[in-house]
Structure 1
Amino acid sequence: MSQHRTTDEGSDLARAWARVRANLRESAGVRLFDQWLKPMQLDEAGDPDRVRLTLPSAFATNWVRSHYAERLFREFRAILPDIRSVEIETAPARAGAAVVSLTAVPVAAPVVVAAPAAPASDVERPALEPRYTFDRFVVDASNKVAFNAAKQLAKPGAVRFSPLFLHAGTGQGKTHLMHAIGHAFMAAVPGARVIAMSAERFMFDFVAALRARDTFAFKMRLRSADLLLIDDLQFIAGKDATQEEFFHTVNEIMGAGKRLVISADRSPQALEGIEQRIIGRMAMGLVADIKPPSLELRRTLLDRKVADMADVRVPADVLDMLAGRITNNIRELEGALNRVIAYAQLTGETLDLDFAIATLGDVLRGSMRRVTIDEIQKRVSQHFELKPLDLISARRARAVARPRQIAMYLAKRLTTRSLPEIGRKFGGRDHSTVIHAVRRIEELRDTDADVDGAVRALMRDLEA
């Protein structure tokens, strides 16, 4: 194993960390990165095959663990293959200083995301979120069919239906159910081969296999799965070669009588840019939708979230307000709760209804009404005195390019559409173009008063 922390190579880990930070900043966006990820520090002391990252508070540590532990491990392994684990811990307090815990979730033991021990077993360990289990999924009429179908598919024995196709909007629990199936099936069938990945990861891995001229290994890996979980099918829309391989993989899994679970943000028939033969295969199994969470479900979720944080008290009227105002996205709802708790703890202010409303002003305004990309394009065109067709044209003049970037930024900020979907709505542009536009407008809002004023005016107009 290479000792990448030796004197001769002492900067390898630091260089890797710099690349990882740059990748996180690009993918997460400036604001999220600065708030949660930028404070992370690399501790270069210790074993050569272990990465240790520290954060200044327990609350921040738990947030990064929950949202970025797997991502950090994959990023480091892509640069330094010898890395076996990534540990995320709270930095120790200075000698003599009081230790203040911002949350009662235990943090003494670090979360370790590690590669499988080699080669005691050749069974692939799926990247499943530990929190996403059936017993932590809150059930009501909006998701009962999907929940029961998921539990049925996770049982050992003969497969009653496959594939299971779950569809729901962003943050409504479909990924939770998929990972719960994986956990339950591995518990029921020790040694089963379970593979979980996003459709986007399927595409990246397939393209990498093509470039390496090793598609056979890629095919055998996926088709040997006893349970294959593919999340967010909409991400391979318009990718003909990827869809060809995906179709054959689906056929092999179904033909072998194995378990297949697919998710997307809409029903199979409503998917754009997906081949009809793939849609036909999805419809052959069980299609289950998850509807937007009811008020009762949203309130129950908040109660459970607060119960998980011992010594944290949130007034009932604050929870009622959150459940009543943030209606479509469970992930956004939980994020809003985390935000008011963190702000209250960091500022020392009383967490009451007025404080919550002031802290979540932008979130609450954004949740009042959902806008479409078509509306955004129309409003931006009117604001800058352009034709709507200009925004989807190939014109690169600054008078058109800057409004187009603003429209893409607003589409990412105000809609739940994916980056590829936004790109397609702007003349078939690639998702990387959308990422560039979003980052550019975020930067200009901090330095260009005209751009910031235009964005603010358009957001007020669209949310009105």
Structure 2
Amino acid sequence: MTSWSPVLPETVWSKVASVLRRELGEGPYNSYVAPSSVKPGPYGDPVLVTPTAYARDWISRNAIRRAQELWTQHDPDARILDVKSRVEYDDQARAAGQTVETKPADLRAQDLRTMSAIPVDATADRSAHRAPIQMPSPAIQSASVPTTAQLTGRITGLQERLTFDTFVPGRGNEFAYTMSRQVASWADGHFNPVFFHGPYGYGKTHLLNAIGWEAQQRRPDARIVYLTAEKFTSTFVKALMDKSTAAFKDEIRGADLLLVDDVHFIGGKTSSQEELFHTLTALMENNRRIVFTADRPPAQLSEIEARLRSHLSSGLVCALDVADQSLRIGIIERKLTQLSQKLGIAGQNPRADVMQFLAERVPGSIRELEGAVNTLVPSAGPRLGSLTLEEAMALLQPN
């Protein structure tokens, strides 16, 4: 890349960044601006290089115009401040035959956290030097890295019905429920990563989705990615085939909260395990939050390599146990209320012996318990309240 002009950009950027920090607030500044750094562009203009495409998009929408105004006030050369993701900047450098730096030698905005704010002379008139703000066109921005919206459509997908409001806490899952609420609240002092484990149908996926919904409501600007381990693997393999792994890494590692369901399915897939290991390392180093689920605790995932198991067990490992009788009754009541309202038969509650039968019929999986209720209520219809135990048993008999 072209070398700098005699006017040091570090001096200009320190002033720009200090104002952005005050105006944007600590949260957005630390999330998007602080991890970014200023580097020389191909024609000597400065480029704000962000660690991810998501950070680039956020800065382009929310901060670049103000940053350009501030830059022009302090740069006699009136250079244009561009913004690119790390992948874009490195690709451009390689195309120009330049050596890509492995260690940033420039001034990063996060260095300002330990520096006193540098006052900006708001009355300075440099209109003679002011150049028009040039925003990168959408076509150029999306040429090498998919947009956030494109990635979201490809690998994320929270289920709308799986929220904390529809989750029934009880003795078998109370601690997992409490920790899930803490993660979703973005509270400080969290364990990282959080690992929930339990057999099929015990509520792990429900909690993972609930965390995602609640966290998004509390921080609408946060990047939250939910995917199964199978989806992680298939998307990564496709990226390998398409030679787009840089874009894949850029987006996944740009998550503020990563939710990975059924991580045990990554066992035996060497390249996917390695990618997940490096993803987990990168996210933890940047204090991003990660939650996993599996059917067993990390120590028992023998099909997963040791170093990844070690990472998975380095935070909080929490079991979801068998639902006791009172919890199963609570789940049945919640499900009955939802279905009765949907079918227009509200108030038709089953007799006590029918409720007892349902709770005892499926002592383990909550999903199977809900399936029994899903079968019984539509089958009984308006007769649900008067249904005898024998009739309920007959309706639930497999065909």
Q: In which range does the TM-score fall when normalised by the shorter chain?
A: 0.5 to 0.7
Could you tell me which residue of structure 2 aligns to residue 274 of structure 1?
304
More displaced 10-residue stretch of structure 1: 336-345 or 179-188: 336-345
Matched, 1:334 2:370: yes
Matched, 1:305 2:335: yes
Question: Offset of 1:347 from its aligned partner?
Answer: 11
Deviation per CA, 1:230-279, whole angstroms, max 9, x where unpaired?
A: 00011111111111111111111111100100000111111131111111
Q: Taking CA–CA contacts closer than 8 Å with sequence separation of 6 or more, which of the two structures ends up with the larger relative contact order?
A: 2
| Unaligned stretches of 5+ residues in structure 1 | 1-117, 364-464
Could you tell me which residue of structure 2 aligns to residue 244 of structure 1?
274
Q: 1:264 aligns with which of 294, 298, 314?
A: 294
Cα gap change, 1:182 to 1:120, in 2 (>3 Å) = closer
Q: When the two structures are aligned, how many residues end up with a matched partner?
A: 246
Q: 1:323 aligns with which of 332, 339, 359?
A: 359
Q: Secondary structure at the match of 1:327?
A: coil
Cα gap change, 1:223 to 1:338, in 2 (>3 Å) = same
Deviation per CA, 1:359-399, whole angstroms, max 9, x where unpaired?
A: 22349xxxxxxxxxxxxxxxxxxxxxxxxxxxxxxxxxxxx
Rounded Cα–Cα distance in structure 1 between residues aligned with 2:148 and 2:254 = 19
Question: Offset of 1:136 from its aligned partner?
Answer: 2.1
Kept in 2, the 8 Å contact 1:159–1:258? The answer is no
Deviation per CA, 1:46-72, whole angstroms, max 9, x where unpaired?
A: xxxxxxxxxxxxxxxxxxxxxxxxxxx
Q: Which amino acid aligns with 1:339?
A: T
Rounded Cα–Cα distance in structure 1 between residues aligned with 2:385 and 2:297 = 45
Cα gap change, 1:264 to 1:352, in 2 (>3 Å) = same
Question: Offset of 1:154 from its aligned partner?
Answer: 1.2
Kept in 2, the 8 Å contact 1:199–1:236? The answer is yes
Could you tell me which residue of structure 2 aligns to residue 355 of structure 1?
391
Cα gap change, 1:207 to 1:323, in 2 (>3 Å) = same
Kept in 2, the 8 Å contact 1:162–1:259? The answer is yes
Matched, 1:192 2:228: no
| Unaligned stretches of 5+ residues in structure 2 | 1-145
Alignment of 1:384-463 (within 5 A): none
Aligned-pair Cα RMSD in Å: 2.6
Could you tell me which residue of structure 2 aligns to residue 130 of structure 1?
160
Question: Offset of 1:346 from its aligned partner?
Answer: 11
Kept in 1, the 8 Å contact 2:202–2:367? The answer is yes
Q: Secondary structure at the match of 1:195?
A: strand
Alignment of 1:27-38 (within 5 A): none
Kept in 2, the 8 Å contact 1:123–1:192? The answer is no
Q: Which has the larger radius of gyration?
A: 2
Q: Which amino acid aligns with 1:318?
A: V
Cα gap change, 1:124 to 1:159, in 2 (>3 Å) = farther
Could you tell me which residue of structure 1 aligns to residue 35 of structure 2?
none
Could you tell me which residue of structure 2 aligns to residue 255 of structure 1?
285
Q: Secondary structure at the match of 1:186?
A: helix
Rounded Cα–Cα distance in structure 2 between residues aligned with 1:120 and 1:207 = 19
Alignment of 1:27-426 (within 5 A): 124=152, 126-158=156-188, 160-308=190-338, 309-310=340-341, 311-312=345-346, 313=348, 314-345=350-381, 351-362=387-398
Q: Which amino acid aligns with 1:344?
A: A
Q: Which amino acid aligns with 1:287?
A: V
Rounded Cα–Cα distance in structure 2 between residues aligned with 1:158 and 1:350 = 51
Q: Which amino acid aligns with 1:359?
A: L
Percent pairwise identity? 38
Cα gap change, 1:348 to 1:229, in 2 (>3 Å) = closer
Rounded Cα–Cα distance in structure 2 between residues aligned with 1:265 and 1:346 = 39
Rounded Cα–Cα distance in structure 1 between residues aligned with 2:380 and 2:187 = 50
Q: Which amino acid aligns with 1:332?
A: E
Q: Secondary structure at the match of 1:230?
A: strand
Rounded Cα–Cα distance in structure 1 between residues aligned with 2:235 and 2:316 = 27
Q: Which amino acid aligns with 1:235?
A: F
Kept in 2, the 8 Å contact 1:200–1:236? The answer is yes
Q: Which amino acid aligns with 2:198?
A: A
Kept in 1, the 8 Å contact 2:377–2:384? The answer is no
Could you tell me which residue of structure 2 aligns to residue 23 of structure 1?
none
Cα gap change, 1:323 to 1:253, in 2 (>3 Å) = same
Q: Which amino acid aligns with 1:352?
A: T
Rounded Cα–Cα distance in structure 2 between residues aligned with 1:159 and 1:211 = 40
Kept in 1, the 8 Å contact 2:185–2:214? The answer is yes
Q: Secondary structure at the match of 2:161?
A: coil
Deviation per CA, 1:99-150, whole angstroms, max 9, x where unpaired?
A: xxxxxxxxxxxxxxxxxxx989789474111221222221122111111111
Q: Which amino acid aligns with 1:296?
A: S
Rounded Cα–Cα distance in structure 2 between residues aligned with 1:122 and 1:185 = 21
Q: Secondary structure at the match of 1:132?
A: coil
Rounded Cα–Cα distance in structure 2 between residues aligned with 1:270 and 1:180 = 26
Rounded Cα–Cα distance in structure 1 between residues aligned with 2:219 and 2:280 = 22
Q: Which runs of 4+ in 1 moved over 6 A?
A: 118-123, 346-350
